[in-house]
Amino acid sequence: MKTSGKTGLRLKAWKAVVALSILGVSATSSLAAQEDALSIIREVDRRQRVDTSRTRTSMRVFPDAQNPSEFREFVIEGYERGDSESYREVLEPRSVKGLRILAIGEDAWLYFPSTGRVRKIAGTSRGESVQGIGGDFSYEDLGGGRLEEKYEFRLASVDARSWTLEGMPRKPEGVYSRLVIRVSREAYRTESIEFHTAKDGRLKTLEFLEYKNVSGRDTATRLVMTNHRKGSRTVVTTLSAEYGVPIPEKFLNPAQFYK
């Protein structure tokens, strides 16, 4: 069936309008998904944010995740202020007692009581496990900062009980090439975080378990970090936690935290 020139032009124009409409809907849906992901991660941050806190935790390091009878255990006291300042000190065992870690924004410092020296952690070293302790938490993992400042998130998938968010680093020199975060719809609880690198793919998975009301806050009292490349595991259990506590200023001062 033939069409007149005018009719053909009208059909072409209609098809162009439809195509542009489809693209517009697609772009709007994509933008809405980005905004949803951002609102979710902001709510997660908001619910976890505290002005100050003091915690005491047990950290068990299992070199072989399949052998629960072989582990090293540390007791650690920690202070945090805001989103990006934290101080941690090892209380036990005696062999590393007094080891201290200070993290402020992108910078971190490690104090060795055996030598009295301070090491500044920077760049790619932030991906290393803590010297003197080992385990599967890196300096980057122990540092602070809001997730939305470090990663750009999109909504990867949705189901009846949770959201899965994918985060890409805003800076190419970041320790991780991608994060995958699973958030429960119940109280915006973080269930797990997968840490990916360009070299290893899915390098580690952190699980947030045993949520309890601690000092009026919804808190995951057991964290399990599994290193898929090494086959190791580190378990952190909250022994006590307090919020809104005063913090001695020297603990968060790079020139004084080790004195």
**pLDDT at position 229 over 70:** yes
The yes-or-no verdict on residue 22 having pLDDT over 70 is: no
Instruction: Show me where the domains of the chain are located.
Output: 49-252
The DSSP annotation for the chain comes to ----HHHHHHHHHHHHHHHHHHHHHHHHHHHHHHHHHHHHHHHHHHHH--SEEEEEEEEEEESSTT-TT--EEEEEEEEEETTTEEEEEEEESGGGTT-EEEEETTEEEEEETTTTEEEEE-GGGGGSEETTTEEEEEHHHHS---HHHHEEEEEEEE-SSEEEEEEEESSTT-S-SEEEEEEESSTT-EEEEEEEETTTEEEEEEEEEEEEEETTEEEEEEEEEEETTTTEEEEEEEEEEEES----GGGG-TTTTT-
pLDDT band at 188 (very low <50, low <70, confident <90, very high): very high
CATH architecture designation of domain 49-252: Clam (2.50)
Give the pTM.
Answer: 0.83
pLDDT band at 31 (very low <50, low <70, confident <90, very high): very low
